Amino acid sequence: MDLEAVRTFVAAADAGQFQEAAAELAVTQQAVSKRIAALERKLGVRLFTRTPRGAALTIDGQAFLPHARELLRVAERAVASVRTGRRPLRVDIIASRGAASGLMRGFHRAHPEIDLGVVMLFDIETAVAAIRSGTIDASFRAVAAPGRPLPEDIESVRVLDEPLQLLTGPAHALAGARSVP
């Protein structure tokens, strides 16, 4: 579907006149008429009834209008998702109940204007590959693993020490310990 025709339809519906829609879109009234006619042919229905005062939506036009508005919103979100500096910040966290998810909730409350996409990737190798490919922007996870340093092109910054609790059976050697380093 031609999004310019849909945009023209919405502008004409809002203005109630093709001439006013043409002025708003910086095109001629003839261009507005042609776009609307092409859209009507594509849909197989009349969207407007022409009146002496302008144009009134038909029942089909009224039915199509909210969907047309949604099409334009979706198109804008699609463009924004790939526009530099406009796509959502994409972050990997290990679990939805961990401290990192709390950080993300706090960030979102503090910065509601920033779109945030949170994912949960399985392991560090998957997270590193996703960072390298640009699929995610950051990952919250423990990265210190004996014998497995991070690749040189990936940087880590300590942002959070999450308290963990060790659960053991009553006969385990660490069962009576008050803390475990």
pLDDT in tens, 1-28: 899 999 999 999 999 999 999 999 999 9
Q: Check pLDDT > 70 for residue 84.
A: no
Least Cα distance to 12 among 56, 77, 64 occurs for 56
Q: Are strands 54-57 and 48-51 parallel, antiparallel or unpaired?
A: antiparallel
Whether 107 and 154 map to the same domain: the answer is yes
Q: What total of structural domains would you count in the chain? A: 2
Rounded Cα distance between 6 and 111, Å, is 33
Whether 95 and 74 map to the same domain: the answer is no
Whether 111 and 31 map to the same domain: the answer is no
pLDDT, mean over the chain: 87
Whether 127 and 42 map to the same domain: the answer is no
Q: Check pLDDT > 70 for residue 144.
A: no
Whether 175 and 148 map to the same domain: the answer is yes
Q: Tell me which of 53, 82, 111 is where a domain ends.
A: 82
Q: Check pLDDT > 80 for residue 41.
A: yes
Which two three-digit tokens encode residue 143? 């990265």
Least Cα distance to 99 among 166, 179, 164, 178 occurs for 164
CB-based contacts of 99, cutoff 8 Å, min separation 6: 160, 162
Whether 26 and 62 map to the same domain: the answer is yes
- E strand or H helix at 48: strand 48-51
Q: Check pLDDT > 80 for residue 37.
A: yes
Range of the domain at 147: 88-181
Whether 74 and 144 map to the same domain: the answer is no
Rounded Cα distance between 153 and 132, Å, is 9
- pLDDT for 69 equals 95
Pick the residue with more confidence: 122 or 64? 64
Q: Tell me which of 28, 57, 82 is where a domain ends.
A: 82
Residue 168 one-letter amino acid: T
- E strand or H helix at 140: strand 138-140
- Tell me the whole-structure pTM to 2 decimals: 0.50
Tens of pLDDT, residues 62-82: 999 999 999 999 998 888 777
* pLDDT mean over 132-160: 81
Whether 42 and 117 map to the same domain: the answer is no
pLDDT confidence band for 133 (50 / 70 / 90): confident
**Any idea what the CATH number is for the domain that residue 71 is in?**
1.10.10.10
